[in-house]
Structure 1
Amino acid sequence: MLLNYKAVEVTRYKKVIISLPNSGSDKFIKLTTKYSQRRIDLDEFAAPNLCSNESSVPTAESIGLYICEPSSRLASAYLDACKKDAFKQTFEEFYSDTMRIEESIAFTRKVDTDEVAFIGCEDLVVKSLLLSQAWLKSQLSKIPYGELFQVVPATIVSDKDKENIRTLYAKEYELYNDSKMIFSSHWNEYQAKNKLSVAPNKTVVIHLGPPKTGTSAIQAWLSRNSDQLLEKKIYYPPHGADKNGVSSGNFSDLISFDTENRGYFDYNKTKQLIDELNSSDYQTLLLSSEHFYYYLLWLFTFLDDARFIFYIRHPIAVLESGYHQGVKRHMKTEKFATPTSISFSNLKVISRISTEINANVEYRFFDEKLFDGGSLHSDFSACFSDFISAPTNERRLNTQYSAGALILMRMVNGFGDKFLRTELDFWLQRDSETQPNFSLIPPDKIDNLQIKLMQEADKLKQCTPNINGTKLDTLLEQYKHLNYYTNDESTEDFNRVLLKLRQSSPLLVSSILSQCRTADDIENFELLKKGFGVKGSSLKYIQIANWFLKFRYGLKKLISRYFQ
């Protein structure tokens, strides 16, 4: 008989998860309910809140079981208990407690795996979330990796502890192993049923980015040469780009948005694209978008015949580039702060997901000394047996700001509207292309960050299939710290930017001053007025200039939309 529940009335529409404490079911329920595309009722019943109330037993199709490797579950429970001031037990005393052992035995006696419709496993949380879509009859939207892979404290389980726990919790291990076998069977059935099969003579190659690894440059190059790619039987679907050449690539070919504007993997749209490939004369479907990185769960599961290209960049460079992106695209106004530690965060995510799902990932390295052929384009070409020629003297796209541009954009983010931020960004990006890159991190902070990265790299080499450990070491060892700008040097470049902007775009200068004054940002207004060299007698025209520039901007958008 399946275990029963204490004084809980369960409707035929509600589903429940049963589990032992600290099995991870609370996180699983939070993710499925928060990111489901429709409202679902999913409750948790964890031991010991169980009793023999026959009237409250839900139907089998409404019940899910969530399991966790017993020693990991007990370690998690122990760490929670340690947060209480009065708690003094050792870990061995904790897991040897008679009541805790009896709770585990009682749970295993009441659970019948043949009478549950769903089994989830904390050790395989990615697969569990995907399997839950069928059970809950609701697709999941994009799940932030920070919520999916939370920081796990260092393990406290010794080999002796593991041996003791296996003896004391033998029944729980029996349930755990039986459940994992059923889980594996469910997963194989799910993947076989939903797999988007590619014809034997066809290939799908998906460039995942991730962000800050030259994705825009690759996409601009591929778009310009789409006809030459077709001659080589490679289909790269067309996509748009802004006037600086920056785009989201083929994102919309696989991803859609629900009524709440949440992105989700569009299975039907993807199936149509694969069907078109299978019936076409093309041999390869090539897709590229750095935003695909956020949908790895679905891409790896449904397109398991595909080959995925992923670039690894030095985390310090990613950190600094990400800060620039935050200022450029996400209205960041805060000054940069050097962290005490840093991580291969993107690599850790894809390593974990690809290992669990067994995806075919080709790891490349975003570094001039590690590029095959000496450039990003030639390195990307090396991923294919026959590809278009790499360009020479390619214009940099989506460049980082110069030091002065960064200061100005942070300032404008505090008062400027979308129109102003967009126009200023275009101008600053073009100006920054002519300036040398620089670092926001003082030289004396680099060594400590490098040591921690090398320690992390050693661990990643052990758990990441297909990664070139030698190149990963080289990426770290040969890292060249860019020239660090002092406050005085940054201020000097800021004044250069203001002077050049005044000379090349007086209307944009007027718009900046107008919106700054309207926002009552007196300190920045006086600073900008002085830097631009605008006299008091000219200020009466800045509002008119701002209106005119907005009108011209709106007219250009209207005309471009009309002639699309």
Structure 2
Amino acid sequence: MKTIIHIGPPKTGTSAIQKWLKDHADCLMSNGVYYPEHQQDSNGISSGNFLSVFSAHNGDYVYSPQKLQDTIAKAQAANCHTLLLSSEFFFSRLPTLLKAIPDAQCIAYVRNPAQLHESHYNQSVKRHGNTAVIKRAETLPMHTLKRLGEYGQQLGKKLTLRAYHDVLFVNKSIVCDFLSVVFNNNDIDFDVKAPERVNPGYCLEALEIKRCFNYYELGQYAGRLDRVLQAYDKGIKQFTFVGKHQFNDYKRQSIRWIERLAEQVPFEQAGELVDVIKNQPHQDFFKQEVSKAQCLDVFNFILKKDKDLLQRLALCVYAQPNVEDRFPFVAALFEVIPPRSALPTIVQYVKDAIYCRYPTLTFNSSTTKNTDLNNFRSNVSNLLQVRFSLMAYIKALLAS
């Protein structure tokens, strides 16, 4: 059985590809390609087929021969001639997979390193709690291209590299582009419409609001906030935090490294990608800051989409007075969600504070009997690791 492994790398449209493959698994199967089932979140994001061949073990993941055999057996039972696996987590674990499947064909996308650098920064704010402004890199991180070069020298023609850029995709669609490799440019009748954006980037205002929220411990609400902010589309979509001089320096570095990669690996689109990078204009430059009006617009959007979420986020902010107030972020939040509307009553506060300190005590209160409803105790103390600071409570009340 032929095996194709899509390894990403990260930030090269993997989520969009996997969502289409998952949604059209039956269509692929009817054309002889087996794509294993996998989970995805409400945004269409997943780890792909990683868990089809790896298992959790002692806090890490190890290759599972049994899982691979089970997956191959399912593909054979479906009368498929090709097993297709996709996960950006394969990128760092490919040598392990190749020992088990030495004849596998691999697919990877090559993205402009300068774009990748800023995309990684934005992702660190979106999902990893980064509060820092983007830092100038004298030398762009090139570990992804270095790794691709190493894989290319090892695999030769068994590694297919494709350029990650809208104008270079087949039919200007990354899904069409990917399928052209899977089916070796054969004319397969797939109805590939313009794919819905998966894991879209934030607009500028949403990114800065998230960076401000990252100063606070948000617990489980970080994921809900991410989903709402991804839906905010009224702000500035085309922007960069990289100045023009730095942009031109990054451009020179990117071109040099892609040309070097093309010397190591068969990469037919290398010249086209270099030309696209050379002709890429500098986007509108913005400083990393937002006005009170911009904050208010985003907060009102969150309020409309999920009022409960904004109240809980406000509670996170008000309960952590050790964090320096960030104007105009906090001022706008106070205006949309006054502290009194987010905090419990003083009586309930005292009950919850005592209950948190002495959990064996009980009160005739539904919120102390049911931890799911005891929002202030569970959400502030447990999730935020805040010890019911009375000073924080009084500060928030006085502020209102």
Relative to the length of structure 2, the TM-score reads: 0.78
- Partner residue of 1:506? 307
Instruction: Report how far residue 446 of structure 1 moved.
Output: 1.0
Instruction: Report how far residue 323 of structure 1 moved.
Output: 1.1
The alignment-based identity, stated in percent, is: 25
- Partner residue of 2:215? 414
Instruction: Check whether the contact 1:210–1:310 (CA below 8 A) recurs between aligned residues.
Output: yes
Query: Residue 504 and residue 278 in structure 1: after superposition, are their counterparts in 2 closer, same or farther (change >3 A)?
Result: closer
Q: Aligned with 1:362: secondary structure? A: strand
Answer yes or no: is 1:540 the counterpart of 2:340: yes
Instruction: Report how far residue 218 of structure 1 moved.
Output: 1.0
Q: Match for 2:123 among 320, 325, 331?
A: 325
- Partner residue of 1:58? none
Instruction: Report how far residue 490 of structure 1 moved.
Output: 7.0
Answer yes or no: is 1:238 the counterpart of 2:37: yes
Instruction: Check whether the contact 2:163–2:270 (CA below 8 A) recurs between aligned residues.
Output: no
Instruction: Check whether the contact 1:396–1:433 (CA below 8 A) recurs between aligned residues.
Output: no
Amino acid at match of 2:41: D
Measured in 2, the distance between the counterparts of 1:452 and 1:525 equals 36
- Partner residue of 1:519? 320
Count, aligned residues: 349
Query: Residue 246 and residue 480 in structure 1: after superposition, are their counterparts in 2 closer, same or farther (change >3 A)?
Result: farther
Instruction: Report how far residue 345 of structure 1 moved.
Output: 2.6
Instruction: Report how far residue 447 of structure 1 moved.
Output: 1.0
Amino acid at match of 1:504: K
Query: Residue 240 and residue 434 in structure 1: after superposition, are their counterparts in 2 closer, same or farther (change >3 A)?
Result: farther
Instruction: Check whether the contact 2:295–2:329 (CA below 8 A) recurs between aligned residues.
Output: no
Instruction: Check whether the contact 1:403–1:493 (CA below 8 A) recurs between aligned residues.
Output: no
Q: What does residue range 32-111 of structure 1 map to in structure 2 within 5 Å?
A: none
Instruction: Report how far residue 461 of structure 1 moved.
Output: 1.9
- Partner residue of 1:221? 20
- Partner residue of 1:459? 260
Answer yes or no: is 1:392 the counterpart of 2:193: yes
Measured in 1, the distance between the counterparts of 2:195 and 2:61 equals 33
- Partner residue of 1:469? 270
- Partner residue of 2:242? 441
Measured in 1, the distance between the counterparts of 2:92 and 2:157 equals 15
Point out where structure 1 has 5 or more consecutive residues left out of the alignment: 1-201, 555-564
Q: What does residue range 224-373 of structure 1 map to in structure 2 within 5 Å?
A: 224-259=23-58, 261-278=59-76, 280-356=78-154, 358=156, 360-373=158-171
Instruction: Report how far residue 526 of structure 1 moved.
Output: 6.6
Relative to the length of structure 1, the TM-score reads: 0.57
Answer yes or no: is 1:382 the counterpart of 2:183: no
Instruction: Report how far residue 475 of structure 1 moved.
Output: 4.2
Measured in 1, the distance between the counterparts of 2:200 and 2:5 equals 24
Amino acid at match of 1:264: V
Measured in 2, the distance between the counterparts of 1:220 and 1:523 equals 41
Higher mean alpha-carbon deviation, 404-413 vs 460-469, is at 460-469
Measured in 1, the distance between the counterparts of 2:279 and 2:314 equals 44
Instruction: Check whether the contact 1:229–1:387 (CA below 8 A) recurs between aligned residues.
Output: no
Amino acid at match of 1:219: Q
Note the alpha carbon deviations across 1:448-470, whole angstroms, 9 max, x for none: 11112222233222222355432
Q: Aligned with 2:62: secondary structure? A: strand
- Partner residue of 1:204? 3
Amino acid at match of 1:233: G
Instruction: Check whether the contact 1:499–1:531 (CA below 8 A) recurs between aligned residues.
Output: no
Instruction: Report how far residue 266 of structure 1 moved.
Output: 2.2
Instruction: Check whether the contact 1:216–1:398 (CA below 8 A) recurs between aligned residues.
Output: yes
Instruction: Report how far residue 421 of structure 1 moved.
Output: 0.7
Instruction: Report how far residue 273 of structure 1 moved.
Output: 2.1
Amino acid at match of 2:342: I
Instruction: Check whether the contact 1:228–1:388 (CA below 8 A) recurs between aligned residues.
Output: no
Instruction: Report how far residue 267 of structure 1 moved.
Output: 2.8
Instruction: Report how far residue 534 of structure 1 moved.
Output: 2.8
Instruction: Report how far residue 377 of structure 1 moved.
Output: 1.5
Query: Residue 541 and residue 494 in structure 1: after superposition, are their counterparts in 2 closer, same or farther (change >3 A)?
Result: closer
Q: What does residue range 136-147 of structure 1 map to in structure 2 within 5 Å?
A: none
Instruction: Report how far residue 425 of structure 1 moved.
Output: 0.8
Q: Aligned with 2:91: secondary structure? A: helix
Instruction: Check whether the contact 2:149–2:264 (CA below 8 A) recurs between aligned residues.
Output: yes
Note the alpha carbon deviations across 1:103-149, whole angstroms, 9 max, x for none: xxxxxxxxxxxxxxxxxxxxxxxxxxxxxxxxxxxxxxxxxxxxxxx
Measured in 2, the distance between the counterparts of 1:370 and 1:359 equals 21
Measured in 1, the distance between the counterparts of 2:285 and 2:219 equals 31
Measured in 1, the distance between the counterparts of 2:71 and 2:45 equals 24
Measured in 2, the distance between the counterparts of 1:343 and 1:541 equals 46
Instruction: Check whether the contact 1:381–1:390 (CA below 8 A) recurs between aligned residues.
Output: no
Larger-gyration structure (1/2):
1
Measured in 1, the distance between the counterparts of 2:195 and 2:291 equals 27
Measured in 2, the distance between the counterparts of 1:358 and 1:268 equals 28
Instruction: Report how far residue 256 of structure 1 moved.
Output: 1.6
Amino acid at match of 2:43: N
Instruction: Report how far residue 387 of structure 1 moved.
Output: 4.3
Q: Aligned with 2:172: secondary structure? A: coil
Measured in 2, the distance between the counterparts of 1:303 and 1:358 equals 15
Instruction: Report how far residue 289 of structure 1 moved.
Output: 1.0
Instruction: Check whether the contact 2:3–2:84 (CA below 8 A) recurs between aligned residues.
Output: yes
